[in-house]
């Protein structure tokens, strides 16, 4: 067997294992087994290896740098016609710079990491120019970690009240547990995010169906707290690097 076949097999097994664990965590939380979407975070590997993850069944790919996202989109999307009934969605999970929006928005990504009014307005403006509607999540800093990105819970509420943003749709919240957080602490931080969402929905008439939280080390805790999307990288590329 060639080396690339080995890697393809390894990635397929990792994908099966991770998605199985995600379904089990959902069931353990009393939720439907397919209620959690796995975003395959491909930032650790090249475009060819990213494509192997798509081939293994992962239809949601996450990148933290816009340039890498649009470079990979060219390689990976060539695989899509051969898999006609599968569509690929890109997820922007890293810091967004306004000067990257023009090239990024045509790929139709879900942007997980909106953390300021400035970037929210910039996305709305560029999406309007391109005659599209961009979907975003608001990143909330729930760990209270000073050096972490993300909005305070109050700021999240304020961004939701900005009127006349017609080309951007806020569909949920994104969060990360603080660095070095114990699983039990992460669990309570994720519960805080879910409660914040519930409060915002109850008080403002917003619909915020998506909660993007949980990574390789803490997705079980996130799913128990209500995550609808988990962003998993390392666990999918175990043994590959």
- Report the interface residues with ligand PLP, using CB under 6 A: 41, 43, 64, 93-94, 176, 215-217, 231-235
Q: List CB contacts of 205: < 8 A, sequence separation 6 or more.
A: none
* Minimal distance, residue 234 CB to ligand PLP, in Å: 3
Return the number of the residue (120 or 165) whose C-beta is nearest ligand PLP. Answer: 120
For residue 22, give the 3-state DSSP assignment. Answer: helix
Residue number with CB closer to ligand PLP (138 or 165): 138
Please report how close the Cβ of residue 208 comes to ligand PLP at its closest, in angstroms. Answer: 19
Gap between the Cα atoms of 120 and 56, Å rounded: 34
Look up residue 49 and give its two tokens.
């290896």
Sequence-distant (6+) residues with CB within 8 A of 15 are 40, 53, 56, 57, 58, 236
Shortest CB 238 distance to ligand PLP, Å: 10
**How far is the C-alpha of 142 from the C-alpha of 214, rounded, in Å?**
13
Q: Which is nearer to ligand PLP, 26 or 176 (CB)?
A: 176
Q: How far is the CB of 145 from ligand PLP (least distance, A)?
A: 14
Give the residue carrying structure tokens 């790929």.
107
Q: Which residue is nearest to ligand PLP, using beta carbons?
A: 233
The nearer residue to ligand PLP, 91 or 197, going by C-beta atoms, is 91
At its nearest, how many Å lie between ligand PLP and the CB of residue 180?
13
Nearer to ligand PLP, 23 or 231 (CB): 231
End-to-end CA distance of the chain: 18
């Amino acid at each position: 067997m060639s080396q690339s076949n080995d890697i393809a097999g390894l990635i397929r097994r990792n994908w099966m294992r991770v998605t199985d664990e995600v379904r089990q965590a959902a069931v353990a939380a009393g939720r439907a087994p397919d209620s959690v979407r796995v975003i395959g975070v491909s930032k650790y590997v090249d475009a060819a290896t990213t494509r192997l993850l798509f081939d293994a069944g992962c239809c949601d790919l996450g990148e933290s740098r816009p340039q890498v996202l649009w470079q990979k989109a060219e390689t990976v999307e060539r695989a899509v016609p051969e898999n006609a009934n599968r569509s690929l969605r890109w997820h922007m999970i890293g810091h967004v710079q306004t000067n990257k929006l023009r090239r990024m928005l045509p790929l139709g990504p879900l942007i997980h990491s909106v953390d300021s009014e400035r970037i929210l307005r910039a996305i709305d403006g560029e999406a309007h120019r391109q005659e599209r509607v961009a979907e975003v999540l608001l990143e909330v800093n729930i760990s209270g970690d000073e050096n972490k990105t993300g909005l305070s819970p109050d700021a999240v509420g304020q961004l939701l009240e900005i009127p006349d943003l017609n080309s951007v749709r806020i569909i949920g919240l994104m969060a990360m547990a603080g660095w070095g957080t114990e699983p039990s602490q992460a669990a309570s931080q994720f519960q805080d995010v879910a409660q914040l969402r519930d409060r915002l929905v109850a008080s403002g008439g917003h619909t915020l169906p998506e909660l993007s939280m949980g990574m390789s080390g803490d997705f079980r805790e996130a799913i128990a707290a209500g995550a609808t999307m988990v962003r998993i990288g390392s666990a999918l590329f175990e043994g590959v690097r």
